[in-house]
Structure 1
Amino acid sequence: MKKYTIQNSPFVVPTSDGKLIEEHFGNATDGNSQISIAHMVAPAGWSEPFQTPKFEEYTYIIRGQKQFVIENETIILEAGQSIKIKKNTRVQYSNPFTEVCEYISICTPAFSMDLVNRED
């Protein structure tokens, strides 16, 4: 029995906003509810509603920039920077810039729509 797993075919999450989400490990890919690891590409002008997730989210920016509105503070990260956002924190993610933003997202416990608590 192998003591490792190589992920060659991540689950591509269907989206309607042009964002690419490839979950390499997590609920959708291997049923792991403890952690999710996803590669994401957010197009220029992308944004999503405020949310208050019941998971911690770590984000590492590979290229471009990503904007975070955390509580009432606006933070912009660029390539090479990372952030940890504690669970139960109200946050909005967006890419209001002219270039795509590519990043890695890690959630503990794993991302699920039941835990994200997106606002309408």
Structure 2
Amino acid sequence: MKKYFIQKTPFAVPTEDGKVIEEHHGAAATQNTDISIAHMIAPPHWSEPFQTPEFDEYTYIIKGKKKFIIEDQTVILESGQSIHIEKNARVQYSNPFDEPCEYIAICLPAFDFNKVHREE
């Protein structure tokens, strides 16, 4: 019995805002609710509404820049930098810049639309 799994076909999360989301491990891709690992590309001038997730999120920037508004602080990460945002923090993710932002997102426990609590 193998003690590993190589993900060759990540789950492509359908989006309507031009963002590319490929979940390699997580509830949608592998039915693992303990962790999700996704490769993402946020197009230029993309943003999401504020949210208050019930999970920790770690983000590692591969290329470009990404803006975070966490509670009342603004943070801009660049290529090679990473961040950990604790669960229950009010946060907004965006790419207000002219270049795409490519990054890896890891959520503990796994990302769950029912637990992200996006604002209208």
Q: Normalized against structure 2, the TM-score is what? A: 0.99
Following superposition, the deviation at residue 110 of structure 1 comes to 0.2
Following superposition, the deviation at residue 72 of structure 1 comes to 0.8
> What value does the CA root-mean-square deviation take over the aligned residues?
0.3
Q: Which amino acid aligns with 2:42?
A: A
Moved over 2 A (4+): none
Q: Which amino acid aligns with 1:23?
A: E
Partner of 2:76: 76
3-state SS in 1 of match to 2:50: coil
Q: Distance in 1 between matches of 2:94 and 2:71?
A: 14
Following superposition, the deviation at residue 64 of structure 1 comes to 0.1
Following superposition, the deviation at residue 3 of structure 1 comes to 0.7
Q: Distance in 1 between matches of 2:112 and 2:98?
A: 29
Q: Normalized against structure 1, the TM-score is what? A: 0.99
Q: Distance in 1 between matches of 2:105 and 2:115?
A: 15
Following superposition, the deviation at residue 82 of structure 1 comes to 0.1
Pairing of 1:1-120 with structure 2 (within 5 A): 1-120=1-120
Q: Distance in 2 between matches of 1:75 and 1:29?
A: 30
Q: Which amino acid aligns with 2:81?
A: Q
Following superposition, the deviation at residue 111 of structure 1 comes to 0.1
Sequence identity (%): 68
Count of residues in Structure 1 that have an aligned counterpart in Structure 2? 120
CA deviation string 1:30-66 (max 9, x = no partner): 1100000000000000000000000000000000000
Following superposition, the deviation at residue 9 of structure 1 comes to 0.4
Q: Which amino acid aligns with 2:77?
A: L
- Where does structure 2 lack aligned partners over 5 or more consecutive residues? none
Following superposition, the deviation at residue 78 of structure 1 comes to 0.2
3-state SS in 2 of match to 1:84: strand
Following superposition, the deviation at residue 97 of structure 1 comes to 0.1
